[in-house]
Amino acid sequence: MQLMDLFKSNQHFDAESQRQIHYQMLIIVKAFFAMASGDTSLSLVGEMTDALLETPAFDLAAHYLKQNQACGVLIRDRYIPPMHDLEQLLTYPKNSLGYLYAAKMKETGYDPNLHAGMTAQSDAHYVELRLSQTHDLWHLVTGFDTSLTGEIGLQAFHLAQFPYPLATMLVANSLVANTLLMPEDLPSLLAAIAQGFQMGKTAKPLFAQRWEDAWEKPLTQWQTELNIQPILM
């Protein structure tokens, strides 16, 4: 089934499904305007993500990814790695992905095992789970920092690789918010979006990678193999 055929097949819903979609749309719009007004809390992003997961857009994103064989295998197998042992990763070479990831987790205080034990019933839920689990690895490999501009640059990278609904909403929201609230930051935001999108177009699929199977590999080797010229921010 082609992507457009799948989209058309999702247009025929019963009354209850229509009501559910309309309800999710209200949540998405509410979160969108709250974010555009300056609320950038992770809880609000989570609220938007949960609502988007119940829309056909996320099913389409999963379907798109499955056209790539390696991505399709991860989705089919619901691949989730063992829990990350940061102390063990810190014994790896200092130029390795594992060491750099563990050092960043220690520095930020983020929980690397926040998603441990989680399961996904649908392809769409698995895609979001895996993206959330590896988000900080995508930051490392692309070079985008965790500033608001860096985050949006990374979301643009996502969009060049597959039609990720959350990325679409976050990029659109950032443009609205910057135009209205921080117009002086708009040029740097546009530059990050352009850089991220171009990088994503030329890079190999990051979703397909089993990063955890090669923690010892140097970060620069990952970047070369994935055809990524990282951002220097």
Residues of the chain with pLDDT under 70: 1-26, 30, 32-33, 36-37, 233
Res 95: pLDDT: 97
Predicted pLDDT at 90: 97
Q: How many CA atoms lie within 13 A of 230 on its CB side?
A: 18
Q: What are phi and psi of 157, to 5 degrees?
A: -60, -45
Cα dist. 158→67, 185, 197, 201 in Å?
A: 16, 22, 8, 9
pLDDT of 7 reads 44
